[in-house]
Amino acid sequence: MSDVICGIDLGTTNSCLALLRDGRPEPVIIEEGSAIVPSIVSLDDATGRIIVGRQALNRFAAFPHHTVRSIKRLMGKETHVKLGDRSYSPEEISSFILSYLVTAGAAVIGSEIRRVVITVPAYFNEAQRRSTIKAGELAGLEVVRIINEPTAASLLYENCEDEGGENETNSPCILVYDLGGGTFDVSILEVKGEIKEVLASCGDSALGGDDFDERLIAHFLRHIREQSGYDFSDDQDRALHSRLKAVAEQAKITLSDAPYARISEVAVTVMNGEPVNLELELSRREYEEMIDDLVARTMEKVEEALKEAHLEADDIARIILVGGSTRTPLVQERLEQLFERTVSFSVDPDLCVALGASVQHGLITGESVGHILIDVTAHSLGMKTNDSFDPETGDADYFSRIIRRNTAIPVRKAEVYYTNYDNQDRVEVEVFQGESESCRENALIGAFPYPLKPAPSGASVVVEFAYDKEGLIHIILEQKGYDNRKEVTLDIRTNQVTVRDEAVAEGKITNYMVSKGRKLAQRSDAPQKMRDELSALLDEYVAALESNDDEETIDSLEERLLELMDELEDAATGE
Ligand code: AMP
């Protein structure tokens, strides 16, 4: 077996192993189809065996005194942790995680792993770095280099063919925003060729996704109290807490992609012999209110880092998102407000540090590192909403983004919208791609009507976009609380609209031209003759579509339609 060098992200919550295969960084899938391994170690008293990763996580609730998590926080300290009767140094515990990663990883890749690059936070001092090297040595590894996590992330993005959060500036500065489970770090790096200097690094070692979970747990406990009268808020029951933590984490992850999360848990605990259930629906909006102050604290640190580096937000050429909690839409939104540009990630934020560490290995050994090929959305996708409704023209022009630019595909995201008045009978759904807040400046991809069932004003319509590698956007619309669902597929390359519901059977297929054309034909500031002509041509076009006329006829009708629509628009605006 040949020897390979791997990159290791030895994280507080999770760890990950990656390697360069044919010059391309790749994560090593170790557990249950995932490259992400919980940084948890447990001692099985009966056998004396050390258990690491997901299995150790599963033991946490039952064997809390034999299990340790977040050992990274103790690196560099002269201390010991107890697992049952045994006592271990932080280096020893970390060495168990490293051993597990390389042993399991070697079995997957079929090569021995003896030499590794390990990442550490930029703020780690000398003692903490030495402690990390020692952990590697205890695991029988040669630590060829220790690199800073933000540096690793930046190395990866240098070899990535996307433009995430880029600014039109020649500045060599990048900002790495790393929000994990238990810690938050922000670093600003200056890139001078191969040298990356850390200009500023700050954070909060007790702020992360775990705190988001805690807010949700408190909400659940309040809900249980209101529903059942039982108050568990001061309860020290670890089993209840770890059950609610798992529910909270799942709800939080759901809310990153959808506007609502339904929670339905039977017997989270037992009281007076009766099961206590947890049954509620949570909206993203409610959740965001719960975590708003926590996210705001991270933004204060970002501003602190900018100040420390003597830079303005505009001087940052690129923003890199690292850590699972950066999938939270509110985090991305707040960063966008601060930096006034779209921010997203294209490489999985859980993997990019380990992948970057494997790139570092390539630089050490002189192996050429190829670009990472990732399929990302080239533009944001979203729909027109009436946030900027103009009563004079009856026009709404606000572009509401559902899928952000540079998001890895396939991707599925949902948002909620609200009706404007009682018994609103339909929504004209218009799908756009682009980056402007104004739909007029973006490209229209397709449009179709969505009939609504009678409901009071403010009724919710959940819109889900799923975008796949074939360039198809599958849209599902659901009027919440009413039995009214519609599925539509748009082909982004051809602007073809396919409606998969009763409208297809009735042959009522429209495409964006029809929708736009009908609106134009109603404009009172355009000459009546042109409006009539347009209406007639639209009818002819729809009839041709419905009767599946030959392509030539449809093409020629489309051409005439486009011309007439342009003319009418010019005439209406007096040009
Ligand atoms: P890390 O320490 O980088 O592995 O990040 C772990 C944290 O990311 C945990 O708090 C997870 O609950 C959180 N996380 C993972 N996936 C998501 C998601 N889709 N949305 C929000 N938080 C997430």
Is the Cβ atom of 178 under 6 angstroms away from ligand 1? no
pLDDT the model gives residue 130: 92
Is residue 328 within 6 Å of ligand 1 at its C-beta? yes
Residue 322 CA to ligand 1 centre (angstroms)? 10
| Of 172, 162, 167, 161, residue with least CA distance to 195 | 172
Helix ranges (DSSP H) in 139-208: 149-158
CB of 7 sitting under 6 A from ligand 1 = no
Radius of gyration of the chain (CA): 28
- 391 pLDDT higher than 60: no
Report the pLDDT value the prediction gives residue 499, as an integer from 0 to 100: 53
Classify strands 14-21 and 3-10 as parallel, antiparallel or unpaired: antiparallel
Burial class (CB in 10 A: 0-12, 13-18, 19+), 17: buried
Q: Is the minimum distance from the CB of 38 to ligand 1 under 6 angstroms?
A: no
Question: Quick one: which of 251, 257, 180 has its CA closest to 213?
Answer: 251
For residue 324, name the pLDDT band (cuts at 50, 70, 90). very high
- When mean pLDDT is compared across 465-469, 516-520, 534-538, 570-574, the lowest value belongs to 570-574
Cis peptide before 275 (omega within 30 of 0): no
pLDDT at 500: 46
Q: Is 324 in the pocket of ligand 1 (CB under 6 A)?
A: yes
Give the Å distance between the CA of 225 and the centre of ligand 1: 28
pLDDT of residue 395: 60
**pLDDT over 60 at 289, yes or no:** yes
Identify the top-confidence range among 191-200, 310-319, 505-514. Answer: 310-319
Quote the CA–CA distance of 339 and 165 in Å, as a whole number: 9
Q: Name the percent of the chain lying above pLDDT 90.
A: 48
Residue 427's beta-bridge partner residues? 450
pLDDT exceeds cutoff 90 at 498: no
pLDDT in tens, 46-103: 999 999 999 999 898 788 899 999 999 899 999 999 999 999 999 999 999 999 999 9
Local confidence band at 513 (pLDDT 50, 70, 90 cut-offs): low
Confidence check: pLDDT of 550 > 80:
no
pLDDT band at 505 (very low <50, low <70, confident <90, very high): very low
Give the pLDDT of residue 208.
93
Grade residue 526 by pLDDT with cuts at 50, 70 and 90: confident
- Cα 485 from chain centroid (whole Å): 26
Say which residue the tokens 């933590």 belong to. 245
pLDDT in tens, 6-35: 999 999 999 999 998 888 889 999 988 889
Low-confidence winner among 26-30, 163-167, 226-230, 256-260 (lowest mean pLDDT): 163-167
- The pLDDT-based confidence of 448 (bands split at 50, 70, 90) is confident
The CA distance from 512 to 449, in Å, is 10
210 lines ligand 1 (CB under 6 A): yes
Candidate from 252, 328, 348 with most ligand 1 atoms within 8 A of CB, to mutate: 252
Q: Are 117 and 145 in contact (CB under 8 A)?
A: yes
Measure the CA–CA gap between 173 and 191, rounded to whole angstroms.
6
Mean pLDDT for the stretch of residues 287-304: 97
Q: What ranges make up the beta strands (E) of 284-387?
A: 316-322, 381-385
pLDDT of residue 512: 55
CA nearest 411: which of 443, 442, 444, 382? 382
Q: What are 169-181's pLDDT values in tens digits? A: 677 899 999 999 8
**Would you give the DSSP letter of residue 34?**
B
Q: Cα-flanking dihedrals φ and ψ of residue 365, to 5°?
A: -90, -5
Residue 573 has pLDDT above 90, yes or no: no
Q: Give the mean pLDDT of the chain.
A: 86
Distance CA(136)–CA(448), nearest Å, equals 59
Rounded-to-integer distance, Cα 353 and Cα 464, Å:
31
Above 50 in pLDDT, residue 509?
A: no
Mean pLDDT of 366-395: 68
Are 399 and 432 contacting, i.e. CB atoms less than 8 angstroms apart? yes
The pLDDT of residue 503 is: 37
Rounded CA-CA distance 218/110 in Å is 46
Give the residue whose CA is nearest to atom 3 of ligand 1.
323
Q: Write down the pLDDT at residue 162.
A: 52
Cα 203 to ligand 1 centre (Å): 17
Write a three-state SS string for 523-550: CCCCCHHHHHHHHHHHHHHHHHHHCCCC
What stretches of 84-159 adopt beta strand conformation (E)? Answer: 86-88, 112-120, 142-148
Ligand 1 in reach of 350 Cβ (< 6 A)? yes
Q: Is 13 in the pocket of ligand 1 (CB under 6 A)?
A: yes
State the Cα–Cα distance between residues 493 and 471, nearest whole angstrom: 7
Ligand 1 close to Cβ of residue 326 (< 6 A): no
Between CA 410 and CA 375 the distance in angstroms is: 8
Name the residue with higher pLDDT: 85 or 385: 85
What does the pLDDT read at residue 203?
Answer: 86
Least confident of 102-116, 303-317, 555-569: 555-569
* Element (DSSP H or E) covering residue 10: strand 3-10
Cα 397 to ligand 1 centroid, rounded to whole Å: 35
Residue 476 burial (C-beta neighbours within 10 Å; 0-12, 13-18, 19+)? middle
Indicate the SS3 state at residue 324.
Answer: helix
Task: Write down the pLDDT at residue 507.
Answer: 34
Distance CA 99, CA 114 (A): 10
**173-179: strand order across its sheet:** 195-204, 184-192, 173-179, 316-322
pLDDT digits (tens, 9 = 90+) for 415-440: 999 998 899 988 888 899 888 888 88
Distance separating alpha carbons of residues 492 and 379, to the nearest angstrom: 11
Q: Helix, strand or coil for residue 522? A: coil
The arrangement of strands across the sheet holding 426-433 comes to: 398-403, 381-385, 426-433, 443-451
According to the model, what pLDDT value does residue 314 have? 93
Res 292: pLDDT: 98
Question: Cα-flanking dihedrals φ and ψ of residue 282, to 5°?
Answer: -125, 135
Q: How many residues does the chain have?
A: 575
Q: Identify which of 54, 119, 325 to mutate to test ligand 1's pocket (most ligand atoms within 8 A of the CB).
A: 325
Which residue intervals of 459-527 are DSSP H helices?
502-505, 512-521
Distance CA(376)–CA(143), nearest Å, equals: 34
Q: In angstroms, how far is CA 529 from the centroid of its own chain?
A: 50
Average pLDDT over residues 257-261: 95
Rounded Cα distance, 382 and 169, in Å? 27
Percent of the chain with pLDDT over 70: 89
Ligand 1 atom nearest 212 alpha carbon = 10
CA atoms of 358 and 8, how far apart (whole Å): 8
Whole-number pLDDT of residue 392: 55
Cα atoms in the Cβ-side hemisphere of radius 13 Å centred on 104: 25
pLDDT at 61: 77
- 36 Cα nearest atom in ligand 1: 4
Q: How much distance in Å is there from the Cα of 249 to the middle of ligand 1?
A: 8
**Is-contact 175 305, C-beta < 8 A?**
yes
CA dist list (Å): 373 to 176, 370, 466, 537: 21, 9, 21, 45
Burial 437-464 (b: 16+ CB within 10 A, else e): eebeebebbbbbbbebeebeeebbbbbb
Q: At residue 307, does pLDDT exceed 90?
A: yes
When pLDDT is averaged across residues 131-144 and rounded to a whole number, the result is 95
